[in-house]
Structure 1
Amino acid sequence: MKMVFRWFGENDDSVTLNEIKQIPGMTGVVSALQDIPVGEVWPQEKIKELKNEINQAGLELKVIESVNIHEDIKLGLKSRDKYIENYKKTLKNLAAEGIKVVCYNFMPVFDWLRSDLAQELEDGSTTMAYDESWINSTDPVKLVEEFDENSEGFSLPGWEPERLAELKGIMEQYEDISEKDLLSNLKYFLEAVMPTCEENDIKMAVHPDDPPWPIYGLPRVVTGKENLRTILEMVDNPYNGLTLCSGSLGSNPANDVPALIREFGSRVHFSHVRNLNFDGKGKFHETSHLSTDGSLDLFEIMKAYYDSGFDGYLRPDHGRMIWGEKARPGYGLYDRALGATYINGLWEAITKMDS
């Protein structure tokens, strides 16, 4: 297991590389070029600059999260081939700078979704929460505006302005797109990029939908065991793999996260580990990583990774805002650093139990 930490860049993150370096067991960061519009080629020189900045801090850059997929690819429009060619050029440029894994998602229009970015918990910390009834009663445009107002002045990953500028029009384009259509468009994309991945030794790792069910009538196809298996089988190539996010998949109680890890372990190229608490049907809030603070058993999750021989990249995922920290929702320093330490402790204990 290689422990990494998500970092949004010097100008877009409240957390510094020097602070990340001080977290015990941290080997590198997961980052991206935040200023490249979706669909455009990432210049190798800019990738190199980012890598050098991270390397100079004593950390590695081996995973990119994310090279976002242009909406035309998801919709299956004729223009998709142009954007796929750009994506392949980006993959080549990333591989040339030593990148091994690209995390991406195939969620239409919206990326992850929450109803509250700062729900206060009993201990005084704040966290992100989801309430399906609130989502269903809220106009999508209003939701985007509220997210922007409550993001502590930070941009939100997966909520790039250019993707959401014409929200209503994009949503209308999906009215005739079924889950079967979306899955077919994902297959088309993966079949097109796999030769580039093989030639350049760079893996694709699809992130689960968050939450893993349809939103505003939009189809979602990365939600649980059956469609994870379908995605891996329809393009049966070791370079086509998963970002297994315990929080995204685990927000549906029907998903047995340790069992998913054991079934798909060899195709898990990247792991996000976090915890959450079920608050009722279609309702949950994120918690500390500690098993007793949430509904997911982090010991069993890490044991499943160990039993599967996992040797990929893993990062502590969303944290609460604690100790007065002001940061991008879910991505402060303190709670994620505690999460990393807790995960490392579990890993050490499991390793020694087996020796």
Structure 2
Amino acid sequence: MHETMRWFGPHDAVTLRDIRQAGCAGVVTALHHIPVGDVWPVADIQQRKSLIEAEGMRWTVVESLPVSEDIKRQSGHYHAHIENYKTSLRNLAACGIQVITYNFMPVLDWVRTDISYTLPAGSKALYYQHAAFVAFDLFMLERPDAAKDYDEQEISAAQAWLENHTEEERKNVFHNAMLGLPGSTGRFTPDEILAALATYKDISAGKLREHLFHFLREVVPVAEELSLKMAIHPDDPPYPVLSLPRIVSTEEDLRAIINAVPSPANGLCYCTGSLGVRPDNDLTGIIRRLGDHIHFLHLRNTRRDNFGNFFEADHLDGDADMFAIVRELLLLMKRRNTALPVRPDHGHQMLDDLHKTTYPGYSCIGRLKGLAELRGLQLGISRML
């Protein structure tokens, strides 16, 4: 595997030197300062690439080249945004980038209710508590007609959660649920969220899927011509939130995306964390059946319960059988005669990082721990094969 870490750019509290010391050969990054829908200029790409190479590492994977809401809705400036996306692909290929990660999640890139969930040993993890999120939706955001999305048991649990938590705890859930895109310290306002949700009122999962397939028919031929690999990231979490459709949550979804535009350039970002939250996703089976279309790996683990709650567990200690997953991935790479780029996805905030402000899930030491565990697991398995 080609081991990397995600870096959010020069303003990231985790430096390139930190990532190099962790033993990474490469960095996964994006140009977060460029507005979504605009072209990524060659000069900006080269400037970022030069910073990474000056620290002795490579930049071959973009995460992410974002897809605008106009493209997802097929509204506003979506024609221009698709053309800009194609231009960005050309510019990235000219600079030596090989893999383009993206997602097609409407409005919210990810959802958690607690970004500093305290584990027994004192480290902090990301956590999604379903009752807290329903309470946010119904009683804090007050989304119109939200009650239609929940059954009586869910509404009752949300009311109980609200009654049993302090005003400060409620505020924390409210702020965490409104977090903006990764790489951003901003949060949505309630008016912004409600206005954005209203623009998807008439867009079903089927309609959103049609919009994704249209986008792929436009950009995948360009990516193939440039020898780029497009890698779509699964939904996080992999089920509808705030009545927004989710279309990249199951193996069936992934297969439909691959079949919509058959091409070596149309592929997947295999994320064990996002896919693993659903107990009906067969993580090793997905590798065996769809492995030829996997272009990028996110390895993390979660622990879930029967109430829709989950938290980010240690990389080797969650519901996902990381031994079986890594073994299947090594067999896949041996058969394909390639080394897929991989990063330890998320990590606990721990040790000295508890006193630092970092992007949620992206402190340095916790990811270093996860990388070391995955590297040891990989070495052990490779000696057995």
Deviation digits for residues 278-331 of structure 1 (CA, Å, limit 9, x no counterpart):
1333101101112xx322111111011012126211100010111141222100
Unaligned segments of structure 1, at least 5 residues? none
Counterpart check, 1:219 vs 2:226:
no
Aligned to 1:322: 350
Q: Which amino acid aligns with 1:242?
A: L
Question: Does the 8 A contact of 1:279 with 1:285 survive in 2?
Answer: no
Which of 279, 285, 298 does residue 253 from structure 1 map onto? Answer: 279
Aligned to 2:380: 349
Q: Secondary structure at the match of 2:305?
A: strand
Q: Secondary structure at the match of 2:351?
A: coil
Q: Secondary structure at the match of 1:108?
A: coil
RMSD of aligned residue pairs (Cα, Å) = 2.3
Deviation digits for residues 54-106 of structure 1 (CA, Å, limit 9, x no counterpart):
00100000001011111011112263111000100111111111000111100
Question: Matched residues, percent identical?
Answer: 41
Aligned to 1:177: 203
Counterpart check, 1:9 vs 2:9:
yes
Counterpart check, 1:129 vs 2:127:
yes
After the TM superposition, which residues 139-288 of structure 1 pair with which residues of structure 2 at under 5 Å, given as runs? 139=137, 146=172, 157=182, 166-288=192-314
Deviation digits for residues 33-59 of structure 1 (CA, Å, limit 9, x no counterpart):
110011011111000000000001000
For 2:116 and 2:89, the matched residues in 1 are separated by 36
Q: Which amino acid aligns with 1:350?
A: I
For 2:212 and 2:187, the matched residues in 1 are separated by 22
Question: Does the 8 A contact of 2:111 with 2:236 survive in 1?
Answer: yes
Structure 1 residues 156 and 127, CA, compared in 2 at 3 Å: closer, same or farther?
farther
The structure with more helix, counted as a fraction of residues: 2
Normalization by structure 2: what TM-score?
Answer: 0.86
Normalization by structure 1: what TM-score?
Answer: 0.93
For 1:59 and 1:142, the matched residues in 2 are separated by 44
For 1:53 and 1:277, the matched residues in 2 are separated by 37
Question: Does the 8 A contact of 2:304 with 2:319 survive in 1?
Answer: yes
Question: Does the 8 A contact of 1:68 with 1:104 survive in 2?
Answer: yes
Aligned to 1:107: 105
Once structures 1 and 2 are overlaid, which stretch shifts more, 134-143 or 341-350? 134-143
Deviation digits for residues 157-198 of structure 1 (CA, Å, limit 9, x no counterpart):
076859877322221111111111011000000000112102
Q: Secondary structure at the match of 1:84?
A: helix
Question: Does the 8 A contact of 1:110 with 1:159 survive in 2?
Answer: no
Aligned to 1:295: 319
Counterpart check, 1:22 vs 2:21:
yes
For 1:243 and 1:147, the matched residues in 2 are separated by 29
Q: Secondary structure at the match of 2:117?
A: strand
Question: Does the 8 A contact of 2:132 with 2:173 survive in 1?
Answer: no
For 2:20 and 2:174, the matched residues in 1 are separated by 30
Q: Secondary structure at the match of 1:166?
A: helix
For 1:118 and 1:84, the matched residues in 2 are separated by 37
Unaligned segments of structure 2, at least 5 residues? 143-170
For 2:73 and 2:263, the matched residues in 1 are separated by 23
For 2:183 and 2:50, the matched residues in 1 are separated by 25
Cα deviation for residue 18 of structure 1 reads 1.0
Q: Secondary structure at the match of 1:8?
A: coil
Structure 1 residues 39 and 258, CA, compared in 2 at 3 Å: closer, same or farther?
same
Whose radius of gyration is greater, 1 or 2?
2
Aligned to 2:164: none
Deviation digits for residues 247-267 of structure 1 (CA, Å, limit 9, x no counterpart):
000011111211111111111
Which of 47, 50, 56 does residue 49 from structure 1 map onto? Answer: 47
Aligned to 2:64: 66
